[in-house]
Amino acid sequence: MRAEPVVVVHPTKQSLADAAAARLVTALVDAQARRPEAQIALTGGSMGSAIIASLAQVPGRSAIDWSRVRVWWGDERYLPAGDPDRNDTQNDAAGLAGLGLHPDKVHRVSGPDTSESAEASAEAYAQTLSTHGQGGFDVVLLGVGPDGHIASLFPHHAAQRATNAAAVAVHHSPKPPPDRVSLTFECLDRCREVWFLVAGDDKADAVAAALAPGAERWDVPASGPRGSEATRWLLDQDAAGALETGSDRTG
């Protein structure tokens, strides 16, 4: 059974980031109470960095044993380490490095400086997931593009159909850079909680399409992932703008 989506709307992007960070602290504390380690997959973009910046300021973050948190990314641009367009570089700049994570438990996707191809990076990432992430993510954070893509799984793109693998190389991405590595739907389907973090009126139509009855992930990839325990759409007012009146909204 997969959890039905719950929509939570906040007034602004900043209030969304702050509330999501506080919610994430609770989720990680709960996960550590049940298992030796908490597992989280991060997202890039401005919203992904905003929640990291807010997380670094949440007073309750000290309740987490950060040395028992494993960090992954839902996708990564196939660029050299430290490139400003990489998701992990952006998250680092937002404050990830200051949380107290164990360096060996921050799992980054190799770029062309240390890998011969995106395929090799995807295979290595999948192998690391098999070794250290077999229980699935406690929380996966996903941004949503204006076209409805999540991670680097784009509408009508062959990478959506990857099977028997936790990660896939993505080529000819509709948005630059063309080469990427992404978690697969198969991997995302093993998550306990899936959180979509979406801000901005340019995402409103994609949000509405993903939440529409009968939406197909081939057309709107964001309609696909659901957690086994929770599926949360955490939105600001602008991103929620195209939802029908009477949608499940919680302040």
Model confidence pLDDT, tens digit, residues 34-76:
999 999 999 999 999 999 999 999 989 999 999 999 999 999 9
Within a domain: 251 = no
DSSP β-bridge partners for residue 230? 193
Within a domain: 103 = yes
Q: CB neighbours of 59 closer than 8 A, spacing ≥ 6?
A: none
Look up the CATH number of the domain holding residue 20: 3.40.50.1360
Within a domain: 246 = no
Model confidence pLDDT, tens digit, residues 119-144:
999 999 999 999 998 778 999 999 99
Amino acid at 25: V
Which residue segment(s) compose the domain that 189 sits in? 5-236
CB 188 within 8 A of CB 43: no
Within a domain: 245 = no
Residues of the chain with pLDDT under 70: 245-251
Q: How many separate domains does the chain show?
A: 1
Give the model's pLDDT for residue 135. 78
Name the DSSP class of 158.
G
| pTM confidence score | 0.95
Name the DSSP class of 230.
E
Phi, psi (rounded to 5 degrees) for 89: -65, -45
Give the model's pLDDT for residue 250. 45
Within a domain: 164 = yes
Distance (Å, whole) CA 102 – CA 214 = 42
Sheet (strand 230-236) strand order: 5-10, 230-236, 193-198, 139-142, 38-42, 69-73
Q: What angle do CA 3, 75, 224 make, to 5 degrees?
A: 30
Give the model's pLDDT for residue 49. 95
- Report in angstroms the alpha-carbon separations of 124 from 14, 128, 131, 158, 212: 36, 6, 11, 20, 36
Distance (Å, whole) CA 140 – CA 135 = 13
User: By 3-state DSSP, what share of the chain in percent is helix, strand and coil, each rounded to 5?
Assistant: 35, 20, 45
Give the model's pLDDT for residue 115. 97
Give the model's pLDDT for residue 134. 73
Within a domain: 170 = yes
* Sequential DSSP letters for 167-200: EEEE-S-SSSSS-EEEE-HHHHTT-SEEEEEE-S
Name the DSSP class of 228.
S
